[in-house]
Amino acid sequence: MTTTTRPPSGSAAQVEHIPARTASPGRRPLLDVVIPVYNEENDLRPCVERLHRHLGDTFPYPFQITIADNASTDRTLEIAHELSDRIPEVFVLHLGDKGRGRALRAAWGISRAPVLAYMDVDLSTGLGAFLPLVAPLLSGHSQLAIGSRLAPGARVVRGPKRTVISRCYNRLLRVTLRVRFSDAQCGFKAIRRDAARELLPLVADNGWFFDTELLVLAERSGLRIHEVPVDW
């Protein structure tokens, strides 16, 4: 069963959201991993299956995976529902408009999990960083956690052009906004639900800049941001 509800504040999209069930009856998931997708019919199934296996093998608490579809025009939504029907921990959220920030705002806004995360569908980030990413949030040590391709210990394989663009962008943020975090745009982040409730109404962007704006607001609010070096 799928229900339709009014979108969270700040989103103009109609949201077709997940049924009211949990991965295990009576056990609220402690972690909700959101995967925003737009026309990802080729990558979605292997991504979700691999992520589900990894979390099932390594994450010691109840979890769920939310596929947040951004108005896909291919078979992405169909495949998402197939995965949800087959895997109890997988849920589907569908939005009528595009935008990664819009998808995260909607998915995080309705989630019951105390720790909310997201990652890119291409699984560019090594999954071994997942537990180090969310552990400080589960313990209450930090309110946000980000994967960083620029932190000491990170191992990155990417083209020189993208590396230069990424370093210049993050350098620009440090110079103009005086931020202390090292990597604003890595598609691997987590936040405590209470912090998300505080920050999401303040974030104006629904697209690519959503991550940066969220982190800047968090830092200026005095929230603790934990950085995890990642393999990329």
Residues annotated as catalytic are 211
35 Cβ contact partners less than 8 Å away, ≥ 6 residues apart: 44, 47, 48, 51, 65, 66, 67, 68, 118, 119, 120, 121
Cβ-based neighbour number of residue 129 at 10 Å = 20
Task: Taking each helix axis as running N to C, give the angle between helix 210-220 and helix 100-110, from 0 to 180 degrees, rounded to the nearest 10.
Answer: 60
The candidate with the shortest Cα–Cα distance to 213, out of 226, 199, 223, 224, is 199
d(CA 208, CA 222): 24
The candidate with the shortest Cα–Cα distance to 89, out of 151, 40, 7, 31, is 31
Cβ-based neighbour number of residue 71 at 10 Å = 17
65 Cβ contact partners less than 8 Å away, ≥ 6 residues apart: 32, 33, 35, 48, 51, 52, 55, 87, 89, 90, 91
